[in-house]
Amino acid sequence: MTFFLSTRDAGFAADFAQLLSMKREEAEDVDQAVAAIIADVRARGDAALLELTARFDRMALTAERLAFSDDEIEAEIARVSTEDRAALELAAARIRDYHLRQLPEDASWTDAAGATLGWRWTPVSAAGLYVPGGLASYPSSVLMNAIPAKVAGVSRLVVTCPTPGGVVNPLVLLAARIAGVDAVYRVGGAQAVAALAYGTATIAPVDKITGPGNAYVAAAKRRVFGRVGIDMIAGPSEVLVIADGDNDPDWVALDLLSQAEHDESAQAILITTDAGFGQAVAAAVEARLQMLERRAIAGASWRDNGAVIVVRDLDEAADLANRIAAEHLEIMVAEPEALAAKIPHAGAIFLGAWTPEAIGDYVGGPNHVLPTARSARFSSGLNVLDFMKKTTMARMTPEALRAIGPSAERLAVSESLQAHGLSVRARLDRLNG
Amino acid sequence: MTFFLSTRDAGFAADFAQLLSMKREEAEDVDQAVAAIIADVRARGDAALLELTARFDRMALTAERLAFSDDEIEAEIARVSTEDRAALELAAARIRDYHLRQLPEDASWTDAAGATLGWRWTPVSAAGLYVPGGLASYPSSVLMNAIPAKVAGVSRLVVTCPTPGGVVNPLVLLAARIAGVDAVYRVGGAQAVAALAYGTATIAPVDKITGPGNAYVAAAKRRVFGRVGIDMIAGPSEVLVIADGDNDPDWVALDLLSQAEHDESAQAILITTDAGFGQAVAAAVEARLQMLERRAIAGASWRDNGAVIVVRDLDEAADLANRIAAEHLEIMVAEPEALAAKIPHAGAIFLGAWTPEAIGDYVGGPNHVLPTARSARFSSGLNVLDFMKKTTMARMTPEALRAIGPSAERLAVSESLQAHGLSVRARLDRLNG
């Protein structure tokens, strides 16, 4: 049953703690199977990839056909309607514009001691983007992963996407084309992640792997972490709406259901200062649920994980929101910026009644790959920096070394690292001698 | 035997590949033991912590004595010499100055469609720093982890440090005091990581855990990743020196040995354009080795993992350096900046003969927690952003929604996410109706 809570209730603290700690998804333990698949791909390369693809995706491929050819891609994307193409292109342009502003700056300065210090940002050389097959094969996610990589300056960007029974979503191929992806490989699962991390004769290894996937893909990413960089391990999606009584309950209901329709384990929470409004939203959710094609999924999510919380005032709302640390936070109150300033912990914030979260999923510009399961307390949505790394730079002059070298030598000695100290001392002796 | 390679040798490609793929450290498999320790601390809290500390550190503690008291800290740091204190304070000031420049800026702009977009950086609320006990209990690492956290604005910063037999390094407590650490707990191992991630009655949970540790600590950090943020899982340290013949072989030898003395699995590599210089450095290494207290460790590292590579020119050196992607890179050639520009993949670069890597370990300013094992291809050294997270912000006006909403609706429909589309449509209908 959807939670109905009020901060005025005696049992609120315990109920809210239960809501926070609720485990919405049982992690399937596929780690041993994934370890075997990775070992197989490392040992046998393409041969393993082809066998596993035949088994899991019922696809008889050859190494030559692992990648879609240009002709195949052209033929598939020719099936996309003009309207869908225009929508994807608008989304791509807006996502690119937003992420271009994230490009970081290098720095270099000379300090009072005469030391020149700074840092330099550079892109990873190659990145691989995992795109799920079937129903969850979202072209918007291709844009959200690929565009930050291209903006960062990644030289080689490839996609792996399973095509069970040979079926591919033409919009996924179009999105990859629009985003500037270099190659799309018809492989999925842990075997695709293994190929991206270790390389095969056909698929060159990459340095960073991003993108969503099922339990096998998640377990494989965790296993190759360190060999390559990965993005976060995403959990079920969630939205928190903070709304006062001056809102249309139907709009809020649809925003909650936008989250709920993703997955039975998704979570949609409303915090409101107006108990009557909360009831109206709950009624609107029930009404809208009847009309949805995905009502079984959305209904289960709302019933099992949904919540309406009535608070005394917006300060209480901010306090609870910080504890929830939601992936998506909609703020539908008179002064949304003022309330947002009190809520540091959220993945993405949507301000005002005219900003449904769905805008952010597609065309707003910010990324829709966001920290779930309260990890917004310590992590950020996917961004350009995820595809770059920073190298620190230092240059001493003889004078700088004379000024700060003795302290380095002293600390090295205190840590019993004699050669560290001697490497400084040998240079100081030259200066002094 | 130390590798002696030349790019002119017929077998160079294979030898270099072997050097790159060499496994320098066997990962100890402690995962099951660590899982049990974490489960115990989650279930029994302080009681488990105290029992495990009694067993592993031979320390009979009570919950009240888990944290060092102010009096205990004062008594310990009173033992530090004036000179050591001054060196630590100089290091702290320089590290703070460098990291202050890393503070990121928020952004907000309104685009042509009328959408206001941007992002906001905020610190994690609480961070925990793991400090090893015994010989590897480095005060410099306390500064390198704690200062970026404080610069980021972390409100609560705690240290855990095992004190086997009750022994603590006074310099570690002084470094924690100088860096502004709020509390130091006498616990270590996987149990300390579990306490930081899940909390006990005495130790409140944190959002991010950083700092080096043994195999148990590393396995525990991997396990709690997701529940909290962690920094990288560090491997054995490494240095690459690129030097032409116009250098003092003894300086280069000491720089190589600075790395080698850390650990038998550390790696020190010299790339030089001058074969005779390479021989002279190797001879200097042997000579200096005789004098080192840690000659057993440094000698084993140099013998098993060390290398001297002779190249035809600096372009070859840059190419090899990018493949090595070293944690520390020293460039001792006539124009070090020009060569550095050709080497995107390195954790930290030290430019010119007057910049020994040991300066960076202590007083240079940049961080000494750096990506090992070729991970500089995709990751950065510890920095202020590791203790912050970015929240994206978006606000639509009715006009902005009218301009871009239809494309969002169209893409939602194409992905069969009906409620997403309806949440936009309901608002557009209000505008139009």
Number of domains in chain A: 3
Annotated binding residue B262: yes
The set of catalytic residues of B is: 327-328
Q: For position B275, what pLDDT does the model report?
A: 97
| Cross-chain residue pair A414–B351, CB shorter than 8 Å | no
B400 touches chain A (CB under 8 A): yes
Q: Min CA distance, A400 vs chain B (Å)?
A: 9
CB atoms within 10 A of CB B206: 26
Nearest CA in chain A to B93: A404
Chain A residues closer than 8 Å to B209 by CB:
none
- Are A313 and A177 members of one domain? no
Binding residues of A: 130, 191, 214, 237, 259, 262, 328, 361, 415, 420
| Cross-chain residue pair B348–A394, CB shorter than 8 Å | yes
8 A C-beta contact, residue A152 and residue A388: yes
Mean per-residue pLDDT, B305-318:
98
What is the spatial distance between Cα A396 and Cα B336, in angstroms, rounded to a whole number?
12
For residues B17-55, one letter each, b for 16 or more C-beta atoms within 10 angstroms of the residue's C-beta and e for the rest, the string is eebeeeebeeeeebbebbeebbebbeeebbebbbebbee
Nearest CA in chain A to B290: A419
- Are B323 and B242 members of one domain? yes
Give the nearest partner residue to A292 out of B171, B392, B419, using CB atoms: B419
8 A C-beta contact, residue B233 and residue B221: yes
Show the tokens assigned to B373. Answer: 């094992």
For B106-165, what is each residue's pLDDT tens digit?
999 999 999 999 999 999 999 999 999 877 789 999 999 999 999 999 999 999 999 998
pLDDT band at B433 (very low <50, low <70, confident <90, very high): confident
Binding residues of A for Zn(2+): 259, 262, 361, 420
Active site residue A368: no
Show the tokens assigned to B408. Answer: 């969002």
Exposure of A232 in the CB half-sphere (CA atoms within 13 A)? 25
Q: For position B26, what pLDDT does the model report?
A: 66
Show the tokens assigned to A135. Answer: 């129903």
Residue B6 lies in a domain: no
Give the nearest partner residue to A358 out of B258, B379, B423, using CB atoms: B423
Q: For position B136, what pLDDT does the model report?
A: 75
Bridge-based pairing of strands A116-123 and A388-395 is: antiparallel
What is the spatial distance between Cα B367 and Cα B382, in angstroms, rounded to a whole number?
6
Phi-psi region of A227 (alpha: psi -120 to 50; beta: other; left: phi over 0): alpha
Nearest CA in chain A to B393: A349
Q: Which long-range contacts (CB under 8 A, 24 or more apart) does A337-346 make?
A: A337/B395, A339/A242, A339/A314, A340/B120, A340/B393, A342/A314, A342/A315, A342/A318, A343/A318, A344/B122, A344/B123, A344/B125, A344/B391, A345/A321, A345/A376, A345/A377, A345/B122, A345/B125, A346/A240, A346/A321, A346/A376, A346/B391
| Cross-chain residue pair B359–A84, CB shorter than 8 Å | no
B248 touches chain A (CB under 8 A): yes
ipTM of the shown complex: 0.96
Tell me: pLDDT of B29 over 90: no
A275 touches chain B (CB under 8 A): no
A35 touches chain B (CB under 8 A): no
Residue A247 lies in a domain: yes
B27 touches chain A (CB under 8 A): no
| Cross-chain residue pair B366–A393, CB shorter than 8 Å | yes
A17 touches chain B (CB under 8 A): no
Tell me: pLDDT of B23 over 90: no
pLDDT band at B235 (very low <50, low <70, confident <90, very high): confident
Domain boundary among B213, B230, B247: B230
Tell me: pLDDT of A225 over 80: yes
Q: Hunting for tokens 């300056």 — which residue is that?
A: A153
Mean per-residue pLDDT, B17-38:
85
Percent of chain B beyond pLDDT 90?
Answer: 90
**Which amino acid, residue B57?**
D
Domain boundary among B187, B209, B230: B230
Give the nearest partner residue to A251 out of B350, B371, B423, using CB atoms: B423
CA dist A239 to A307, B37, B322, Å? 11, 34, 43
Q: Which residues contact A178 (CB under 8 A, 6 or more apart)?
A: A88, A89, A92, A143
Catalytic residue from among A327, A330, A357, A368: A327
| Cross-chain residue pair A97–B83, CB shorter than 8 Å | no
Q: What spatial distance separates the first Cα and last Cα of chain A, rounded to whole Å?
A: 82
| Closest to B216 (Cα-Cα) out of B43, B369, B36 | B36
Mean per-residue pLDDT, B44-73:
96
Tell me: pLDDT of A234 over 80: no
A200 alpha-carbon distance from chain centroid? 26
What is the spatial distance between Cα A142 and Cα A159, in angstroms, rounded to a whole number?
9
8 A C-beta contact, residue A223 and residue A107: no
pLDDT band at A21 (very low <50, low <70, confident <90, very high): confident
| Closest to A304 (Cα-Cα) out of A377, A218, A238, A371 | A238
pLDDT band at B274 (very low <50, low <70, confident <90, very high): very high
Residue A391 lies in a domain: no
Q: Which long-range contacts (CB under 8 A, 24 or more apart) does A110-115 make?
A: A111/B94, A111/B97, A111/B365, A113/A399, A113/A400, A113/A403, A113/A404, A114/A396, A114/A397, A114/A399, A114/A400, A114/A403, A115/A394, A115/A395, A115/A396, A115/A397, A115/A400, A115/A404, A115/B364, A115/B365
Residue B221 lies in a domain: yes
Tell me: pLDDT of A227 over 70: yes
Exposure of A412 in the CB half-sphere (CA atoms within 13 A)? 27
Question: Which residues are A225's β-sheet partners?
Answer: A228
Question: Which residues are A118's β-sheet partners?
Answer: A108, A393
Q: Min CA distance, A66 vs chain B (Å)?
A: 25
| Cross-chain residue pair B122–A345, CB shorter than 8 Å | yes
Q: For position B27, what pLDDT does the model report?
A: 67
For A379-423, what is each residue's pLDDT tens digit?
999 999 999 999 999 999 999 999 999 999 999 999 999 999 999
Give the nearest partner residue to B226 out of A353, A375, A410, using CB atoms: A375
Q: Min CA distance, A375 vs chain B (Å)?
A: 7
Q: Min CA distance, A104 vs chain B (Å)?
A: 9
Instruction: Give the domain range for residue B244.
Output: 235-378
Q: For position B372, what pLDDT does the model report?
A: 93
Q: For position A26, what pLDDT does the model report?
A: 66
Q: Which has the higher per-residue pLDDT, A135 or A227?
A: A227
| Cross-chain residue pair B375–A229, CB shorter than 8 Å | yes
Mean per-residue pLDDT, A309-327:
98
- Are A184 and A254 members of one domain? no
Annotated binding residue B130: yes
B426 touches chain A (CB under 8 A): yes
What is the spatial distance between Cα B224 and Cα B228, in angstroms, rounded to a whole number?
6
Annotated binding residue B328: yes
In which order are the strands placed within the sheet that holds B126-130?
B183-185, B156-160, B126-130, B208-210, B229-230
Q: Which has the higher per-residue pLDDT, A225 or A418?
A: A418
Chain B residues closer than 8 Å to A396 by CB:
352, 354-355, 359, 364
8 A C-beta contact, residue A154 and residue A207: no
| Cross-chain residue pair B347–A392, CB shorter than 8 Å | yes
For B346-366, what is each residue's pLDDT tens digit?
999 999 999 999 999 999 999
Domain boundary among B188, B209, B230: B230
pLDDT band at A124 (very low <50, low <70, confident <90, very high): very high
- Are B139 and B89 members of one domain? yes
| Cross-chain residue pair A366–B394, CB shorter than 8 Å | yes
- Are A44 and A193 members of one domain? yes
- Are A62 and A41 members of one domain? yes
- Are A215 and A254 members of one domain? no
Mean pLDDT of all residues in chain B?
A: 95
Tell me: pLDDT of A2 over 90: no
- Are B135 and B174 members of one domain? yes
Q: Which of residues 176-195 of A touch B (CB under 8 A)?
A: none
Tell me: pLDDT of B21 over 90: no
Highest average pLDDT, of A23-27, A393-397, B59-63, comes from A393-397
Q: Domain with A182 in it: what CATH number? A: 3.40.50.1980
Chain A residues closer than 8 Å to B379 by CB:
229, 389
For residues B104-125, one letter each, b for 16 or more C-beta atoms within 10 angstroms of the residue's C-beta and e for the rest, the string is eeeeeeeeebbbbbbbbbbbbb
Residue B108 lies in a domain: no
Q: For position A54, what pLDDT does the model report?
A: 96
B327 touches chain A (CB under 8 A): no
What is the spatial distance between Cα B4 and Cα B285, in angstroms, rounded to a whole number?
14
| Cross-chain residue pair A101–B94, CB shorter than 8 Å | no
| Cross-chain residue pair B351–A393, CB shorter than 8 Å | yes
| Cross-chain residue pair B378–A260, CB shorter than 8 Å | no
Q: Min CA distance, B229 vs chain A (Å)?
A: 6
- Are B270 and B287 members of one domain? yes
Tell me: pLDDT of A237 over 90: no
Tell me: pLDDT of B236 over 90: no
| Closest to B62 (Cα-Cα) out of B50, B45, B44, B48 | B50
A251 touches chain B (CB under 8 A): yes
Q: Which of residues 359-388 of B touch A (CB under 8 A)?
A: 359-367, 371, 373, 375-381, 383, 385
Residue A268 lies in a domain: yes
- Are A222 and A128 members of one domain? yes
Residue B417 lies in a domain: yes
**Which amino acid, residue A120?**
R
| Closest to A53 (Cα-Cα) out of A169, A170, A190 | A190
For A157-214, what is each residue's pLDDT tens digit?
999 999 998 899 999 999 999 999 999 999 999 999 999 999 999 999 999 999 988 8
Helical segments of A225-334, H only: 249-260, 275-291, 295-305, 314-324
- Are B334 and B189 members of one domain? no
Q: Min CA distance, B100 vs chain A (Å)?
A: 12
Nearest CA in chain A to B367: A392
Q: How many pairs of residues across A and B have Cβ atoms under 8 Å apart?
A: 364
Residue B294 lies in a domain: yes
Question: Which residues are A183's β-sheet partners?
Answer: A158
Give the nearest partner residue to A360 out of B233, B394, B418, using CB atoms: B394
Mean per-residue pLDDT, B67-87:
97
Show the tokens assigned to A414. Answer: 């205190």
For B385-415, what is each residue's pLDDT tens digit?
999 999 999 999 999 999 999 999 999 999 9
Catalytic residue from among A99, A238, A264, A328: A328
| Cross-chain residue pair A348–B393, CB shorter than 8 Å | yes
Of B66-70, B72-76, B217-221, the one with minimum mean pLDDT is: B217-221
Q: Which of residues 106-145 of B touch A (CB under 8 A)?
A: 107, 109, 111, 115-117, 119-120, 122-125, 135, 138-140
| Cross-chain residue pair A378–B389, CB shorter than 8 Å | yes
Percent of chain A beyond pLDDT 70?
Answer: 99
The helix/strand count (H/E) of chain A reads as: 17, 14
- Are A204 and A244 members of one domain? no
H-helix or E-strand containing B250?
helix B249-260
For B252-271, what is each residue's pLDDT tens digit?
999 999 999 999 999 999 99
H-helix or E-strand containing A403?
helix A398-414
Q: For position A27, what pLDDT does the model report?
A: 67
B330 touches chain A (CB under 8 A): no
For residues A145-158, one letter each, b for 16 or more C-beta atoms within 10 angstroms of the residue's C-beta and e for the rest, the string is bbbbbbbbbbebbb
